[in-house]
Structure 1
Amino acid sequence: MAANDSKMRSIAGTLVANKLTAREDDFTFNVTYLANWNIDALCRFAVTRGKSKFTESELRSAYNDLFSVAQDEVYSGSTVEFGFCTNSLGVDGPFIGPGAKFDPAKNSVNLRCTPRSVFRKDLDNISVIVGEIKEGLPTISRVTDVYTQSVNDKLTPGNSLNGEGNRIKIVGTEGNTIGFFFVNAETEAETAVPITSVSRNDPSYFTFIIPALADGKYYLDIATQYGGNSKTLLKEPRRNRLPYLLTVGNGGNTDDDDRPVIE
């Protein structure tokens, strides 16, 4: 949407207590997301809503061609404006001494995405609707895949996942509605983490073995009746979601179809 578009947009969300500060009146804003969109769904939406003169397959084909060119250029060391971001490659890790070489054990290539400046005015024109304060919600703030050491990003099935947050101790009497759940971003199918896989279960920290998940993108949900006091349970489970998409393998793409799922 252009910044001068008369059709205003808005987002809504709720306030959650910020436990990282000492202030009792400090809150963070959690956006209430309305949907998850991938490229195929966007192409279909553009056609059904009359927003494109092309067919769904034509839009998808054009996107594939553009993505292939953009991918080749990024991988060749160019900066590429594509979608909402300008994309480029970077290299992490130390290089000690003037004769240092790239060491896969210490260095890694990463993809850097910088929001395009053209969207800044648009963001200033989006109104924010603040809903009620959500007291007592379990809130996961950070997860680390122990095998890759990636934060809020990768998942390695069969290996450990460490998590941090607030009110994230799993307790309760509601059976299958309590615990950690991986939710497939595309199908919304849930995979529960067996309680026997949880090796650390504290109010602010957890560790569990990641179940056998197929390649794809997942959200991590937590549901518990813990309310800050181990002796007193909440009357019903409260469920919340880590707002980051977590990727298993190649994100669900095959060798013959390496198109990314864009959220």
Structure 2
Amino acid sequence: MATNDPKKHSITGNLVANMLTEREDDYTFNVTYTASRTIKDLCKLAAANKSKFTASELESAYNDLKEQAEIELYNAATVEFGFANNSLGVDGPFIGPEAKFDPKINNVVMHCIPRTEYKTELASIDVIVGQVSEGLPTITKVTDVVTGEVNNHITPGGSLNGEGKRVRIVGEEGKTVGFFFISANDDSETVVPMTALSRNDPSYFSFIIPKLTDGRYYLEIATQAGTNSKTLVKEVRRNRFPYVLTVESTGGDRPEIE
């Protein structure tokens, strides 16, 4: 039965040309994020809005729960925590019935599966599509020079070669431009120094990957480069490369796109 009841939540965003396909009418949806919230932020907001506990009490309780959740998880329990059901697994091949765990080819990994209740909530979110964002800097491919891997693992201290459109880093004084690695775990940001760039062209770039700890990262680019290589747009345009890049000393799996 159809209903006219408004949905409880909504997200907005713009359409961006998908440079990873050959179709000219293929777009991806870039969500317009309203804020970035840490656990400390959430505790403050909850305390101010409706909780009978103070922000420090909520954070202390969260830390206690997180510590206990980690103990259970690391002892091979499946743990419901946050938005997901979490469990451990082991990647890599085990050849033969007498095979043992080999840290050179096997890794302990964490699986996080969204809880069913949130899948229902996601279906209730209204998606508001805004305008088409033109002229965004778009990275289409990156290659780790040390390993030769494409859109996958990267090696801190080694070179990263990239291709794309409008990827030349230029900007007015005082404007924040450049390349940035964003942790997929906590959204922390690591800046690539401009001195690390060895190639800075409209369609190609190369830089030394900064010191990054093991984990998963998004690569973002921010520039004022326009469609004409000699002109600057008024505002900084920032865009994210959709592949998740992995820093992992022991290697890993196939690239992942989100």
TM-based fold match above 0.5: yes
Normalising by structure 2, we get a TM-score of 0.73
Query: Cα gap change, 1:106/1:183 in structure 2, threshold over 3 Å: closer, same or farther?
Result: closer
Gaps of 5+ in 1: 250-263
Task: State the AA in 1 paired with 2:38.
Answer: N
Q: State the Cα deviation string for residues 144-197 of structure 1 (Å, max 9, x = none).
A: 7778989789884xx136365632531546466443245799998884522x42
**Contact residue 144 and residue 162 of structure 1 kept, 8 A:** yes
The 5-angstrom pairing of residues 188-203 of structure 1 reads 191-194=191-194, 196-201=195-200
Q: Which residue of 1 aligns with 2:69?
A: 70
How far 1:62 moved relative to its partner? 1.4
For these two proteins, the number of residue pairs brought into alignment is 240
Q: CA deviation at 1:14?
A: 0.7
Report the CA distance shift for 1:48/1:84 in structure 2 as closer, same or farther (over 3 A): same
| Root-mean-square deviation over aligned CA pairs | 4.1
- Partner Cα separation in structure 1 for residue 6 and residue 171 of structure 2: 51
Counterpart position of 1:207? 206
Question: CA 1:71–1:127 in 2, change beyond 3 Å: closer, same or farther?
Answer: same
CA contact (8 A) 1:138 1:223 kept: yes
The aligned residue for residue 242 of structure 1 is 240
**What residue in structure 1 maps to residue 104 of structure 2?**
105
SS at match of 1:25: coil
Tell me the residue number matched to 2:39: 39
AA partner of residue 242 (structure 1)? R
Structure 1 pair 73–150 and aligned structure 2 pair: CA distance change class (3 A): farther
Q: Distance in 2 between matches of 1:38 and 1:111?
A: 21
Task: Return the alpha-carbon distance in structure 1 between the equivalents of residues 141 and 80 of structure 2.
Answer: 29
Rounded Cα–Cα distance in structure 1 between residues aligned with 2:247 and 2:98 = 36
The structure-2 alpha-carbon separation of the partners of 1:187 and 1:98, relative to structure 1 and needing over 3 Å to count, comes to closer
- In the TM superposition, residue 28 of structure 1 has moved relative to its aligned partner by 0.3
Task: Give the gaps of 5 or more residues in structure 2.
Answer: 249-258
Q: Structure 1 vs Structure 2: percent identity of aligned residues?
A: 52
Preserved CA contact (<8 Å) 2:86 2:111 = yes
Q: Please, which of 164, 167, 173 is the counterpart of residue 165 of structure 2?
A: 167
Contact 1:171 1:226 in 2 (8 A): yes
Specify whether residues 62 and 188 from structure 1 end up closer, same or farther in structure 2 by C-alpha distance, changes over 3 A only. closer
Measure the CA separation in 2 of the matches of 1:115 and 1:204: 38
CA contact (8 A) 1:15 1:30 kept: yes
Give the C-alpha shift of residue 199 in structure 1: 3.6
